Amino acid sequence: MADEKGGGALTHFDAEGQARMVDVSGKPATYRVATAEGRITMAPETAAVIRAGTSRKGDVLGVARIAAIQAAKRTDALIPLCHQVPISGLEVAWDFLDAVSLRCSVTVRTQYATGVEMEALTAVGIGLLTIYDMCKAMDRGMVIDGIRLLHKEGGRSGTWDRAQ
């Protein structure tokens, strides 16, 4: 079975088309890194509260940072066929793109037999969902979008970068 880009077999299915966890026991542990990003758009008043750190629920970005880190560490519990990956490093960055849009970017590193793309993507999603949860009383119209992989390196497939 080829993937939608024709880049290879869909490894999470056996010859009969049944879902399976990929066996990585024969693969060497190598340095792996992945970076993902996503964004949340909100009302200007909501963004101002987040920037000022004056939410009644506390430091919105600090709590969302911890949520993103926790999510990356627990990706295997959320995505059924993911391996439990020992994360050796993780950075979460927040930056306002304008008066209403906040970007989350996450970089995850490991020395393991499989990559950390899912951990980076999961961390971004949960970080942004945490902002929504903490601010929904002010702004139920927030929109989360653009969650995507930007970069990955390591393993047999080498380095991949999203074309800008």
Supply the DSSP string of 38-69, one letter for each residue: EEEE--HHHHHHHHHT--TT--HHHHHHHHHH
Residue range(s) defining the domain that contains residue 99: 32-161
E strand segments, the chain: 30-41, 87-96, 101-112, 143-153, 160-161
Residue 106 lies in a domain: yes
- Is 133 known to be catalytic? yes
Measured between alpha carbons, how far is 150 from 164 in angstroms, rounded to an integer?
9
Q: Which of 59, 76, 95, 133 is catalytic?
A: 133
pLDDT above 70 coverage of the chain, percent: 93
Measured between alpha carbons, how far is 63 from 75 in angstroms, rounded to an integer?
18
Residue 93 lies in a domain: yes
Measured between alpha carbons, how far is 137 from 101 in angstroms, rounded to an integer?
18
Lowest mean pLDDT, pick from 8-17, 75-84, 142-151: 8-17
pLDDT digits (tens, 9 = 90+) for 116-142: 999 999 999 999 999 999 999 999 999
pLDDT above 90 coverage of the chain, percent: 76
Residue 99 lies in a domain: yes
pLDDT digits (tens, 9 = 90+) for 87-126: 999 999 999 999 999 999 999 999 999 999 999 999 999 9
Residue 7 lies in a domain: no
Per the structure, the count of domains in the chain is: 1
b/e sequence 89-121, b meaning 16+ C-beta within 10 Å: ebebebeeeeebbbbbbbbbbbebbbbbbbbbb
Residue 97 lies in a domain: yes
Residue 24 lies in a domain: no
Residue 8 lies in a domain: no
CATH of the domain at 53: 3.30.70.640
Task: Indicate yes or no: pTM above 0.85.
Answer: yes
